[in-house]
Structure 1
Amino acid sequence: MSEEQNAQNTQNLDVPEHLQYSQDHVWIDTSTSPAVVGVTEYAQDQLGDLVFVDLPETGGHVEAGDEVLELESSKAVEPLVSPVSGTIKYVNREASDDPSVINNDPYGEGWLLKIELDDDEPDLLSAEDYAKIIAA
């Protein structure tokens, strides 16, 4: 990918430019409806090989800052904190059945949730700002 398409940090992890990010290492693609949510390459790299994903039910409402699911690896169990408010429309059952898809393709097939956003404007970071955080 070119520099315009992808920001890089000192750990050489992908931070796709077309996505937005939270400080909790969650990415969101607001260009689609519903918005797509997943964990960043940095987050899955820190967790290591994922062995279990506890997905929420569809139809539930989440607020920005809510813990919406858990990611379990051999190292730790970490909650995913929603960066946005809205209604969960879809969950990625493939990622639940085979969590390695998150490690292998965190920005593609490893997406976790699709959320119909509330009208609130989410407080998110650009790829450039997120890359600075993980490089620090």
Structure 2
Amino acid sequence: MWQKIVDWFKHLFSHQAPVHRESNGLWWQEDNGTVKVGLASQVIDELGDITFLATPQVDEQVDKHDQLIDIEGGKAVETFKSPVKGKISRVYAAYQDDPASLSRAADPLLVEIQPA
């Protein structure tokens, strides 16, 4: 009983920013001045066996609605647009080295953007 009360207070006072989910499966979250961007697992499943992933490089500038993520699967090819304008501060390269590993991740985080 006490643990539930403690957990409730922790949740009440946590300051985690909301996760924004786009209708196309892209998700993003502001976290300490950085925007984290990823894809919903459901979209990755719908694409089939992932064979290719492309993202901008670190330090590359992107505008809002610029092409951000290209992903190719056995069933489709999709392009996702940047939710914000800024500079790419981090790319999760392990997914680019092994695109098939996206299928094993839950809502994988792909890039981080420092908003302009």
Q: Shorter-chain TM-score category?
A: 0.7 to 0.9
| Structure 2: gaps (5+ residues) | 1-16
User: Which 5+ residue runs of structure 1 have no aligned equivalent?
Assistant: 1-16, 119-136
User: 1:18 offset after TM fit, Å?
Assistant: 4.3
**Percent of aligned pairs sharing the same letter:** 27
Partner of residue 114, structure 1 = 112
Matched residues in 2 for 1:37 and 1:106: separation?
A: 13
Does the CA-based 8 Å contact 1:71-1:78 persist in structure 2? yes
Greater radius of gyration (CA): 2
Give the aligned residue type for 2:50. Answer: L
**Cα distance in 2, alignment partners of residues 41 and 53 from structure 1:** 15
2:43 is aligned to 43
RMSD: 1.9
Tell me the residue number matched to 1:103. 103
Moved over 6 A (4+): none
Q: Report the structure, 1 or 2, having the larger helix content.
A: 2
Q: Helix, strand or coil: the match of 2:87?
A: strand
State the number of aligned residues.
Answer: 100
1:78 counterpart = 2:78: yes
Indicate the structure whose relative CO is greater, using CA pairs within 8 Å and at least 6 residues apart. 1
What's the CA shift for 1:89? Answer: 0.9
SS of residue matched to 1:58: coil
